[in-house]
């Protein structure tokens, strides 16, 4: 990023002191200077705390998209999928649910529960696309569905159908979807949890549904705890972000954020040491520290000031909370949070 003035350097330093996140107001910089943060290339000496957020921040498995108006739309795990909005990436408010009248097509997989999991949201061609999971804890009788909306508002979503399901006889688990559109304009859905690991399927770019029966393997821990894939492009690499270890145990959770990268969207993905993610590799980016327990189920997006990592973590009392940090890249191109 271009260096503008010492004022920008000061703003970047202020972000580090504040725990890795800041919103720069219009009066924080000289008129005519861009309100940007210089992206650091040296990781902080220890994991930063989450940036300051307030309002309705009880969130689990957050997915986020920047809206055409410049706001933020977050969808997360909850009954009928919960929605939150923000105008400034700091204050969040409840905005209802995706399916206020319920989603009866999912109950085969949820044992009748309304609780839907781990959505992924994106905006393209004038529509919001929402992939989401239906399952029960510890089971791979699971499904991923697609819904679309012109506005993203509660009750505006249209059910588009089943994208992929897994049965107890399968060696994968169809939860935790994430859409990536590669440089050639091809759409792919990564997903997976435990079992044989993280999978990927090609999608029809127009419909958002599967094109064929192809299932690729892109990461795994020999049946161990790996889930929540998110693929983001930076420079010449695709970065595959995943969560290792145990979620959903409150302050006892051991979730941690890991990453690998590849020059091809389909892999092979390797970590900093060159270990393949299909062989258990992964470079750690964020783990529990102090009163921040089990950070994970991450989403990555590019904002006007930086690339941003959004995730959930657990407070000392076991409550799930929204976490946000900015992302930097070291001299070798590996990401860190600040």
Strands 226-234 and 115-124: unpaired
Which residue, 92, 69, 95, 70, is CA-closest to 81? 95
Here the tokens at position 261 are: 């990268």
Tell me if 62 sits within 8 A of 310, measured CB to CB: yes
Tell me if 231 sits within 8 A of 218, measured CB to CB: no
Tell me if 10 sits within 8 A of 18, measured CB to CB: no
Would residue 61 show up in a list of annotated catalytic residues for this protein?
yes
In 75-138, alpha helices (H):
107-110
Tell me if 135 sits within 8 A of 109, measured CB to CB: yes
Helix (H, G, I), strand (E, B) or coil at 165: strand
From CA 230, how far away is CA 253, in angstroms rounded?
20
Exactly one of 61, 120, 245, 271 is catalytic; name it: 61
Per DSSP, 276 falls in state B
Exactly one of 120, 176, 227, 245 is catalytic; name it: 227
Q: Which residues are catalytic?
A: 61, 227
């Amino acid at each position: 990023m271009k260096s503008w003035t010492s004022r920008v350097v000061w703003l970047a330093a202020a972000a580090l002191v504040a725990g890795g996140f800041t919103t720069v107001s219009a009066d924080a910089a000289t008129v005519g200077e861009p309100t940007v943060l210089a992206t650091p290339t040296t990781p902080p000496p220890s994991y930063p705390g989450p940036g300051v957020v307030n309002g309705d921040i009880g969130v689990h498995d957050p997915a986020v998209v920047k809206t055409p108006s410049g706001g933020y739309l977050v969808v997360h795990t909850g009954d009928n999928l919960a929605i939150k909005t923000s105008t400034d990436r700091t204050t969040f408010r409840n905005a209802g649910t995706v399916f206020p009248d319920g989603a009866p097509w999912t109950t085969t997989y949820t044992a009748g529960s309304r609780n839907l999991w781990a959505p992924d949201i994106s905006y393209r061609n004038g529509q919001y696309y929402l992939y989401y999971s239906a399952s029960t804890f510890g089971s791979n009788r699971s499904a991923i569905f697609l819904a679309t909306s012109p506005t993203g508002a509660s009750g505006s979503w249209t059910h588009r159908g089943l994208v992929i399901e897994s049965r107890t006889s399968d060696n994968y688990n169809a939860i935790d979807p994430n859409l990536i559109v590669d440089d050639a304009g091809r759409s792919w859905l990564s997903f997976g949890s435990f079992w044989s690991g993280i999978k990927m399927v090609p999608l029809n770019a127009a419909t958002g549904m599967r094109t064929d029966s192809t299932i690729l393997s892109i990461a795994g821990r020999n049946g161990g705890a790996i889930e929540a894939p998110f693929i983001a492009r930076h420079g010449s690499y695709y970065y595959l972000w995943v969560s290792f270890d145990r979620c959903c145990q409150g302050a006892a959770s051991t979730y941690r954020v890991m990453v690998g990268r590849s020059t091809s969207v389909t892999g092979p993905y390797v970590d900093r040491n060159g270990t393949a993610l299909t062989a258990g590799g992964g470079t750690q980016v964020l783990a529990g520290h102090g009163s921040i327990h089990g950070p994970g189920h991450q989403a990555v997006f590019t904002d006007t000031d930086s690339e941003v990592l959004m995730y959930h973590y657990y407070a000392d009392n076991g409550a799930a909370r929204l976490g946000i940090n900015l992302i930097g890249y070291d001299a070798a191109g590996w990401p860190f949070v600040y």
